[in-house]
Amino acid sequence: MPKDWYEWHDLYNTEPKLQQRLEIVQEYIAHSLNAFPSGAIRIVSVCAGDGRDLLGTLKNHPRINDVYARLVELNPQLVERGRATIESLGLTKQIEFINGDATLSTNYVGAVPADIVIVCGVFGNLAEEAELNRLLDNLSFLSKPGAFVIWTRGHSNGIPYSETVRKILRASDFEEVNFQLTATGDMGIGIHRYLGENLPQPKEQQLFVFAGIPSKAR
Ligand X SMILES: C[S@@+](CC[C@H](N)C(=O)[O-])C[C@H]1O[C@@H](n2cnc3c(N)ncnc32)[C@H](O)[C@@H]1O
| Contacting positions for ligand X (CB under 6 A) | 5, 47-49, 72-75, 78, 101-103, 120-121, 210, 217
Radius of gyration, CA atoms only, the chain: 16
Strands (DSSP E) contained in the chain are 41-46, 67-73, 95-99, 114-119, 143-154, 174-181, 187-194
Q: What minimum distance in Å lies between the beta carbon of 212 and ligand X? A: 7
CA of 65: how far to CAs of 53, 79, 145, in Å?
A: 17, 21, 23
Q: What minimum distance in Å lies between the beta carbon of 121 and ligand X? A: 3
Q: Closer CB to ligand X, residue 113 or residue 121?
A: 121
Q: What minimum distance in Å lies between the beta carbon of 12 and ligand X? A: 7
Q: What minimum distance in Å lies between the beta carbon of 111 and ligand X? A: 14
Q: Closer CB to ligand X, residue 45 or residue 143?
A: 45
Question: Which residue lies nearest ligand X, judged by its C-beta?
Answer: 121
Q: Closer CB to ligand X, residue 37 or residue 131?
A: 131
Q: Where are the alpha helices (DSSP H) in 46-182?
A: 52-58, 76-88, 129-142, 161-170
Q: Closer CB to ligand X, residue 170 or residue 216?
A: 216
Contacts of 148 (CB under 8 A, 6+ apart): 28, 31, 32, 35, 115, 116, 117, 177, 191, 192, 193, 194
Q: What minimum distance in Å lies between the beta carbon of 100 and ligand X? A: 7
Q: Closer CB to ligand X, residue 49 or residue 188?
A: 49
With DSSP H G I counted as helix, E B as strand and the rest as coil, what are the percentages for the chain, rounded to 5? 40, 25, 35
Whose CA is closest to 186, among 215, 218, 216, 149?
Answer: 218
